[in-house]
Amino acid sequence: MINDKKTPEIRFTGFTEDWEQRRLGDITDSYSGGTPKVGKSEYYNGEIPFIRSGEISSDHTELFITKEGLENSSAAMVNKGDILYALYGATSGEVNRSQITGAINQAILAILPHENFDSEFIMQWLRKNKASIISTYLQGGQGNLSGTIVKDLQIILPPYKEQVKIGQFLQSVDKLITLHQRKFEKLLNLKKSFLQKMFPKSGEKYPEIRFSGFTDAWERRKVGDTCNINGRIGFRGYTEKDIISKESGGVLTFSPSNIVHNKLTVDCKNTYITREKYEESPEIMIKNGDILFVKTGSTLGKSALVSGIKEDASINPQIVVLRYKDGAESFFSNVLLTQGVLKQVAAVRIGGAVPTMTETELKNITYYAPISKEEKLKIGNFFSNLDNLITLHLRKMEMLQKLKQAFLQKMFV
Q: According to the model, what pLDDT value does residue 235 have?
A: 56
Q: What is the pLDDT of residue 239?
A: 85
Structural domains for the chain: 20-157 (3.90.220.20), 219-369 (3.90.220.20)
Contact 272, 250 (CB under 8 A): yes
In the predicted model, is pLDDT for residue 272 greater than 60?
Answer: yes
Residue 379 has pLDDT above 90, yes or no: yes
For residues 368-395, average pLDDT: 96
Write the DSSP assignment of 116-182 as a string of letters: TS-HHHHHHHHHHTHHHHHHHHSGGG-S---HHHHHT-EEEE--HHHHHHHHHHHHHHHHHHHHHHH
- In whole angstroms, give the CA distance from residue 119 to residue 380: 49
What lies within 8 Å, CB to CB, of 363 at 6+ separation is: 222, 223, 224, 225, 229
Is the pLDDT assigned to residue 69 strictly greater than 90?
yes
- Cα 367 to chain centroid distance, Å, stands at 29
Instruction: Please provide residue 81's backbone torsions phi and psi, each rounded to the nearest 5 degrees.
Output: 100, -15
CA 266 from centre of chain: 15
Highest mean pLDDT among 225-239, 335-349, 372-386: 372-386
CB proximity list for 383: less than 8 A, separation 6 or greater: 191, 194, 330, 331, 334
Whole-angstrom distance, CA of residue 263 vs CA of residue 306:
8
- SS3 letters across 186-225: HHHHHHHHHHHHCCCCCCCCCCCCCCCCCCCCCEEEEHHH
Instruction: Check residue 192 and give its pLDDT.
Output: 96
pTM: 0.81
Q: What is the mean pLDDT of residues 197-203?
A: 93
- Alpha-helix runs per DSSP H in 215-295: 223-226, 275-279
Residue 353: the pLDDT is 77
How large is the average pLDDT for residues 87-92? Answer: 91
- Alpha-carbon 344 to chain mean position: 25
According to DSSP, residue 296 is labeled B
Residue 172 has phi, psi (to 5 degrees) of -65, -35
Strands 102-104 and 44-51: parallel
| Complete edge-to-edge strand list for the sheet that includes strand 271-273 | 243-244, 271-273, 251-254, 313-315
Does residue 285 have a pLDDT over 80?
yes
Q: Judge contact between 264 and 287, C-beta under 8 A.
A: no
Task: Please write the tens of the pLDDT for every residue from 143-184.
Answer: 799 999 999 999 999 999 999 999 999 999 999 999 999 999
d(CA 9, CA 413): 8
User: What does the pLDDT read at residue 141?
Assistant: 60
Considering the chain, what is the average pLDDT of its residues? Answer: 94
DSSP at 394: H
Q: How far apart are CA 51 and CA 71, in angstroms?
A: 16
| Torsion over CA: 353, 359, 364, 366 (sign) | positive
What is the percent of the chain with per-residue pLDDT over 90, rounded to a whole number? Answer: 89
CA distances in angstroms from 197 to 170, 218, 336, 377, listed in the order given: 41, 14, 15, 17
Assign 321 a pLDDT band (cuts: 50, 70, 90): very high
352 pLDDT band (50/70/90 cuts)?
A: low
Backbone angles phi, psi at 112, to 5 degrees: -120, 110
Runs of H (alpha helix) within 305-338: 329-335
All residues at 6 or more sequence positions from 275 whose CB lies less than 8 Å from its CB, including other chains = 249, 250, 251, 312
Q: Model confidence over 112-141: pLDDT tens digits?
A: 999 999 999 999 999 999 999 999 998 766
DSSP 18: P
For the ranges 104-113, 181-190, 232-241, 383-392, the lowest mean pLDDT is seen at: 232-241
The predicted pLDDT at position 4 comes to 59
Q: Where are the alpha helices (DSSP H) in 11-66?
A: 24-27
Contact criterion met (CB below 8 Å) for 156 and 3: yes
Task: Provide the pLDDT for residue 314.
Answer: 96
